[in-house]
Amino acid sequence: MFTTLIIDDEPHAQDTLELMLTRYYTGKFKVLQKCSSVDEAMHIIQEEEPDLIFLDIQMPRQTGFDFLDLFENRHFDVIFTTAHKDYAIEAFSHGAFGYMLKPIDVTEFQKNVVRYIKHKEEEDNLIAQSRKMDISAFSTHGGLEFVHHDNIIYCTADKNYTRVVTDQSKNPIFVSKSLSYIGKRMSKNRFVRIHQSFLVNITKIKRFDRNSGLLLMINGDEVPVSTRKKRQIQKFA
């Protein structure tokens, strides 16, 4: 089941989207919450990490674009829902998965949602294969980089990319996927999210400095550990 969040300042628009998801895709989506503002949505996103957000553009105080600009490396997909057709180019420049005009047309809604479901199922299959084979094929500007998970030291969010640091090269691999997406492909027994922006291979930790809260990795890099993760990391370091 995919988790979703609806962000729209119009209650009728919120209810319409929720009704369509329930009517046409029962058991496929769970609506975590319907939010009327960006501020209201931020807490839910940090706690729940939704898969998909239906996002209005014109809202009080902050626009949908302002909302997306708050995330350097987001883990969710976005389908914009707006009454304004002139924002399409800007929407897709913000990495939109889809763009629907209000009032929402049922056929257009189904086309976007079916495409999303297919996309996620294909993605989940790739993730399952990566875990089974312990190898990831990272798509880069130059092609595909095949990396065995044993060779990954750590991964870090870097704006719209994830930087993958390995013991095979001094140069990191820049991947146009979120850190959360990369983390799903890795073994939870070996890779730990020790900070909002860092995922580390625990077999590549050399030392944990309790005073500074930094991990020293085998390549000499220092990686920060969030306060709430320090107790967990001491089990490995």
Cα–Cα dist 214/28, whole Å: 41
- The pLDDT tens digits for 53-100 are 999 999 988 999 999 998 876 778 999 999 988 999 999 999 899 999
- The pLDDT tens digits for 95-122 are 899 999 999 999 999 999 999 999 888 8
Let me know: does 54 contact 79? Beta carbons within 8 Å.
yes
Residue 152 structure tokens: 């990954």
Query: What pLDDT score was predicted for residue 129?
Result: 78
Q: Which residue has the tokens 């050399």?
A: 206
Cα–Cα dist 81/65, whole Å: 12
Query: What pLDDT score was predicted for residue 10?
Result: 95
Query: What pLDDT score was predicted for residue 217?
Result: 96
pTM (predicted TM-score): 0.68
Q: What does the chain come to in residues? A: 237
The answer to whether residue 219 scores a pLDDT higher than 90 is yes
The answer to whether residue 236 scores a pLDDT higher than 70 is no
Residue 169 structure tokens: 């090269």
Cα–Cα dist 82/63, whole Å: 11
- Domains in the chain (CATH in brackets) are 2-130 (3.40.50.2300), 134-233 (2.40.50.1020)
- The pLDDT tens digits for 13-65 are 999 999 999 999 999 999 999 999 988 998 888 778 899 999 999 998 899 99
- Percent with pLDDT over 70 in the chain: 95
| Largest Cα–Cα separation, the chain | 58
For 58-105, where are the alpha helices, taking DSSP H only? 64-69, 88-93
